[in-house]
Amino acid sequence: MGLVIGAVDGTITFGGVTFANIGALLTALQSDTDVNILSTPNLLTTDNEEAKLFVGQNVPFLQSSAQTTGGTPIVNVQRQDIGTIMKLTPSISENRFVRLKLYTETSSVSPTQLVKAQDIITFKRTAETVVVVKDSQNIIIGGLIQDQVQDVENKVPYLGSIPILGWLFKSVSKQTTKTNLLIFLTPHIIDSVQDMDEITSKNMNMLEKIGGQKLEPGVKPGHGIGPSHSSAPETPATSGDEQRN
């Protein structure tokens, strides 16, 4: 299946159920054992400036190993970011439309037990696109489907572990796991400190509903930062909210 991109206003219909907004949809999905919310980040950037977000780990991969004539081991290790990466560059038009150049990447390490570090297998899904939407319009990106096939062994306790004869008491089958990655993105054009406060409060309320706990606000954007916060920025900023399932 190819990449599917859509933009919706107002309510969102998912699985035959209509939700008032993305926050309500994520709250409902959180109770579904088949759904895993990878991250709920917020990015703030200015017009025509790239913003980047990374959530994950910097994993070491063994590239090569050798020994000197004296027997001292020499190991060449290369590190790679494994997790969720998002890059976006907004361009705001005069009629308050936002052109978003978007790149997303989700990667993970195979759970298969491997002996050598250089044999580590990673799974990666990427999406790169350009969309044009209205201010505060929801963007949904789907079609990032991954099929993972694993060998599952079922055996009779003790008897299945007997050398040679154990094959008579066990069976091996293949199990296919299908994962569909959905990306929800909502750009907001911020013209003033009041806009920033409103978006911050809205996002905190959504995160509280998803996480089930009260969040204590820290320093609000635009308050107590810099010598003055009484005027709007000269170039409108864009805030992007992203949710992945």
Looking at residue 118, what is its pLDDT? Answer: 56
- CB contact at 8 A, 37 and 26: yes
Q: Domain residues of the chain, as ranges?
A: 4-63+76-146+178-213+235-244
Segment 136-150 shows an average pLDDT of: 73
Which of left, alpha, beta for 5 (phi over 0: left; psi -120 to 50: alpha)?
beta
Mean pLDDT over all residues of the chain?
73
Given a cut of 60, whether residue 28 has pLDDT beyond it is yes
- CB contact at 8 A, 100 and 130: yes
- Name the strands in the sheet holding 4-8, side by side, starting at the edge strand that comes first in the sequence: 4-8, 138-155, 170-190, 237-244, 42-46
- CB contact at 8 A, 80 and 54: no
pLDDT digits (tens, 9 = 90+) for 155-194: 888 777 888 777 777 777 777 777 777 788 888 888 888 8
Least confident piece of the model among 39-43, 53-57, 108-112? 108-112
Please name the amino acid found at residue 202. K
Identify which of 131, 128, 122, 120 has the alpha carbon closest to the alpha carbon of residue 144: 128
Segment 115-122 shows an average pLDDT of: 63
Cβ atoms within 10 Å of 57's Cβ, excluding its own: 12
Looking at residue 99, what is its pLDDT? Answer: 92
DSSP codes, 90-115: EEE-TTSEEEEEEEEEEEEE--S--S
Report how far residue 183's alpha carbon sits from residue 126's, in angstroms, rounded to the nearest whole number: 11
Bridge partners of 85? Answer: 54, 105
Given a cut of 50, whether residue 61 has pLDDT beyond it is yes
Identify which of 38, 43, 37 has the alpha carbon closest to the alpha carbon of residue 55: 38
Segment 4-18 shows an average pLDDT of: 65
- CB contact at 8 A, 95 and 69: no
142 versus 58: the higher-pLDDT residue is 58
Running DSSP on this structure, what letter comes out for residue 168?
G
pLDDT digits (tens, 9 = 90+) for 32-48: 656 777 777 788 888 99
Segment 56-60 shows an average pLDDT of: 84
Given a cut of 50, whether residue 224 has pLDDT beyond it is no
Report how far residue 88's alpha carbon sits from residue 17's, in angstroms, rounded to the nearest whole number: 30
Bridge partners of 175? Answer: 150
Cβ atoms within 10 Å of 144's Cβ, excluding its own: 20
* pLDDT > 90 in the chain, percent: 6
